[in-house]
Structure 1
Amino acid sequence: MSSHLPNSVTTARVVLLCGPSGSGKSLLAARSGLPVLRLDDFYKEGDDPTLPQVAGSSDIDWDHPLSWDADAAVAAIAQLCGTGRTSVPVYDISLSARTGSETVDFGGTPVFIAEGIFAAEIVQRCREAGVLADALCLSRGAVTTFRRRFLRDLREGRKSVPFLLRRGWRLMRDERAIVTRQTALGAYACDRDEALGRLAAAAVHSVPEVVDGLRVREA
């Protein structure tokens, strides 16, 4: 599925917001006041045969990019940037299943956020399509994210407690590598306050695209 949009029909651009699970992406996106596309709704369903497993375990690795439908997410972003509307799945994490679909309508907004742990995976594709405003990786420290993630997932009943503990310890050990990968894919690592500043700048079309730390184009 192609994600390319001719510049002549692009009416909006996207800020991709990634970061380790539990880093506060959803809260930050809500605080920004910008429209938000939830990239977690593009997870594959639990019976999908292509789902990856955690090495040495029977657990599905929901933190691996192959557990997520990148093509569908890019197509939805491209349509939102071109028309302001798209249909997206409604995903129930506790069931590992899509429970329906809904129409997202961002109207004439010039910038919106697409947030999720896999957002960095599509930075290059959005840049090539000419729709990228900025890409941010929110990082708050492994202990903080472990606590936030476990309490959130427990409160929402996302998975069983043993699964959440196994996943939590694994992600805490891997957090530095996760941030390193996301920044290597083109996301800019920052804390909450700097992220809010860059989101505010993107809203008025003043965030430059950055490649390897160099400002290459002003919006």
Structure 2
Amino acid sequence: MSPHRTASARVVLLAGPSGSGKSSLAARAGLPVLRLDDFYKEGDDPTLPLVAGSSDIDWDSVLSWDADAAVAAILQLCRTGRTTVPVYSIATSSVVDTETLDIGRTQLFVAEGIFAADVIARCEELGVLADALCLRGRPSTTFRRRLLRDLREGRKSVAFLLRRGWRLMRAERGIVGRQTVLGAYPCAKAEALGRIANAAAGSTRPRKAEPAETPGPRGTTDSANSGR
């Protein structure tokens, strides 16, 4: 346990579609950040799901992610202020290292990733949830930002990124709707930063907003959770 820790920390879960700006907003918040995308399963895991009618791995399905390991890391950070986390390479679909995340004296941190909304209920039950947010914007803007980022970082082949990008752009409203139903508050970046600041000041989480979007069919929304 950190020698300076006197009470349990809490977490702000930051969700949203792939390319919505979660990582950059988390950095602007000025708090420690846990990258939930580092808890993806590795490419040789036999439980990885496929995109329907395709041989592509569905990295946008929550089944491609280790929720139990992510929640364990969140809980350990809240209780002790320190945890060991994997360092995941999206380009190679593998864990390439581990690192220690230490939040020191801080009593609040951000856990951001495309599947953050899927652990809202568990974090609430554990008594560690400060707030849960879903960044939302224009699907065309999100598509462009995501594609430029993924090409720049060489995350996957160009053909794969284009197939995935078009699929996610069509599904984006359903993604936001599903994450809202799971308990995330849908908002733009300025409002998200304000809510994070309120949580840091000790404010209680506001009541959950009514869903802003109507989620698509279960099969669509399960594979529409992307921020990878």
Same-fold call, TM > 0.5?
yes
CA contact (8 A) 2:7 2:107 kept: no
Counterpart-to-counterpart distance in 1, 2:138 and 2:11 = 26
Of 141, 151, 174 in structure 2, the residue corresponding to residue 144 of structure 1 is: 141
Separation (CA, whole Å) in 1 of partners of 2:136 and 2:58 = 21
Q: 1:100 Cα shift?
A: 1.5
**SS of match in other structure, 2:191:** helix
1:59 aligned residue = 56
Match of 2:196 in 1: 199
State the shift of 1:140 in Å: 1.2
Instruction: Confirm or deny: 8 A CA contact 2:185 2:208 kept in the other structure.
Output: no
Quote the residue 2:166 is aligned against. 169
Amino acid at match of 1:70: A
What corresponds to 1:119 in structure 2?
Answer: 116
Q: How many residues align?
A: 205
Consecutive unaligned residues in structure 2, runs of 5 or more: 1-5, 211-228
1:30 aligns with 2:30: no
Q: Give me the whole-angstrom Cα distance separating, in 2, the residues matched to 1:208 and 1:81.
A: 17
1:44 aligns with 2:44: no
Distance in 1 between residues matched to 2:114 and 2:135, nearest whole Å:
10
TM-score by length of 2: 0.88
Using the aligned pairs only, state the percent identity: 72
Q: Which runs of 5+ in 1 are unaligned?
A: 1-8, 214-219
Task: Identify the residue that residue 90 of structure 2 maps to in structure 1.
Answer: 93
Which digits, 9 at most, give the CA deviation of each residue in 1:184-206, with x for residues without a partner?
Answer: 00000000110010011111111
Q: Which residue of 1 aligns with 2:187?
A: 190
| Alignment correspondent of 2:76 | 79
Distance 1:88 1:199, change over 3 A: same
In 1, Cα distance between equivalents of 2:26 and 2:131 = 13
Shift of 1:108: 1.8
The verdict on how the C-alpha distance between 1:195 and 1:149 changes in structure 2, with shifts beyond 3 A counting, is: same
SS in 2 for 1:169: helix
State the SS of the aligned residue for 2:77: helix
- Paired position in structure 1 for 2:176: 179
Distance 1:207 1:64 in 2: 31
Give the letter aligned to residue 173 of structure 1.
R
Tell me what 2:105 maps to.
108
Residue aligned with 2:132, SS = strand
- 1:81 is paired with a residue whose SS is helix
Offset of residue 207 of structure 1: 3.5
* Residue identity in the other structure for 2:130: A
* Matched letter for residue 88 of structure 2: Y
Look up the equivalent residue of 1:93 and give its one-letter code: I
Q: Is the 8 A contact 2:185 2:209 kept in 1?
A: no
- Deviation for aligned residue 1:63: 0.5
